[in-house]
Amino acid sequence: MDWINLILIPAIKSVILVVVLLTGFAYLTWVERKLISRFQQRIGPNRAWKFGLGHPIADALKMIFKEETVPSYTDKVLFILGPALAIAPALLIFAVVPVGPTLNLFGKDIPLVVADVNVGVLWVLAVVGLGTYGIVLGGWASNNKYSLLGALRTSSQMLSYELPMGILLIAILLVYGTLNLNQIVTPVIAIPWYLRVWLLLAFPLYFITMLAETSRKPFDFPETENELVAGFQTEYGSIKFALYYMTEYLHILGASGVAVTLFFGGWRGPFVEQVPILGLFYFTAKVLAMVFLFIWASASVPRPRYDQLLRFCWTFMFPVSLVYMAITAVIVVLL
């Protein structure tokens, strides 16, 4: 029966996770359009079905059946490979994120995480880094100067902001003493309250790096429409454009899931010990709150210049994250 635990159960969890993420992506577009319309005192999508809930379905059908063109001057193989390489890592981020406690179903204990590995944080960093390849290859293969500039902006932006993000993660790992995300949610040794408060002070810095890593407004420089037409995805249309569009929202969900796990206790909440299924609802509510922060920032903060973005990283984020890590190390050693 080992094949059930090693193959069948992880496969079922993977399929459910992919379906939930793809459905969540579709309606995340509706949520963003509705929220931003309220921020701007507009109504937002309201034509397809009640409250506009049919808009994501209509958009999906439109993208699938839209005529697709591939410019003759592109590198065909890399042009097609780019969107696939972008979306696969976005889906893989959630493989190590625990979305709830262990449930007893049909007499078996089922942990609500696809892969409970000891290097969960390293997995997240590696997968996020791989996602850059899809965007860079798409911009390069398009053989378009605007696409190439967008791809170059992606690589430099992500490489720059991965440094302060990694340093902040090291500070968090110094406190928890593990790379396993499940053990971070339920630590073996209770973390003192003052260390939890200290970790929360790093969240604003970490949130800024998340905005840059997901290329969300105000850091959406790889696809800045007023400078690069549409950036790395200028030559893409139909379902290939939809895959890039999907990747952005999946990265938001993945980044929100990781941030909730690291800073806000993941699925933990009142009465989870008595009713374990509540953990799944707590995790979902926290992720939705994090998504709201993403949308709020995109609607409220103006986009800086690209040189200001990089200067902010190297002259502020990087040294501040180093100082934060050093202070954290001292606190952990002394206290």
Domain residues for 22?
13-61
Domain co-membership, 44 together with 119: no
Residue 7 lies in a domain: no
Domain co-membership, 219 together with 305: yes
- The pLDDT score that the predictor gives to residue 4 is 66
Domain co-membership, 192 together with 221: yes
Residue 117 lies in a domain: yes
> What percent of the chain shows pLDDT beyond 90?
19
Domain co-membership, 241 together with 125: yes
Cβ pair 114, 208 in contact under 8 A: no
Domain co-membership, 26 together with 87: no
Domain co-membership, 109 together with 227: yes
- The pLDDT score that the predictor gives to residue 31 is 87
Q: Does residue 1 register a pLDDT over 70?
A: no
Domain co-membership, 280 together with 204: yes
Q: Among 44, 61, 78, give the residue marking a domain's end.
A: 61
Residue 2 lies in a domain: no
DSSP state of 264: S
Cβ pair 135, 79 in contact under 8 A: no
Domain co-membership, 258 together with 314: yes
Structural domain count of the chain? 2
- The pLDDT score that the predictor gives to residue 260 is 93
Domain co-membership, 44 together with 72: no
Residue 4 lies in a domain: no
Domain co-membership, 24 together with 149: no
Q: How many CB atoms lie within 10 A of CB 158?
A: 22
Q: What is the pLDDT of residues 202-230, one digit of tens each?
A: 999 999 999 988 888 888 877 777 767 77
Which residue has tokens 């968090």? 172
Residue 235 lies in a domain: yes
- The pLDDT score that the predictor gives to residue 111 is 79
Q: What is the pLDDT of residues 143-174, one digit of tens each?
A: 888 888 888 888 888 888 888 998 999 999 88
Start-to-end C-alpha separation, the chain: 47
Domain co-membership, 199 together with 287: yes
What sign does the dihedral 148-149-155-156 (CA atoms) show? positive
Residue 166 lies in a domain: yes
Domain co-membership, 24 together with 157: no
Q: Does residue 74 register a pLDDT over 80?
A: no
Helix (H, G, I), strand (E, B) or coil at 97: coil
Q: Does residue 325 register a pLDDT over 90?
A: yes
Q: How many CB atoms lie within 10 A of CB 122?
A: 14
| Amino acid identity for residue 56 in this structure | P
Residue 310 lies in a domain: yes
Residue 90 lies in a domain: yes
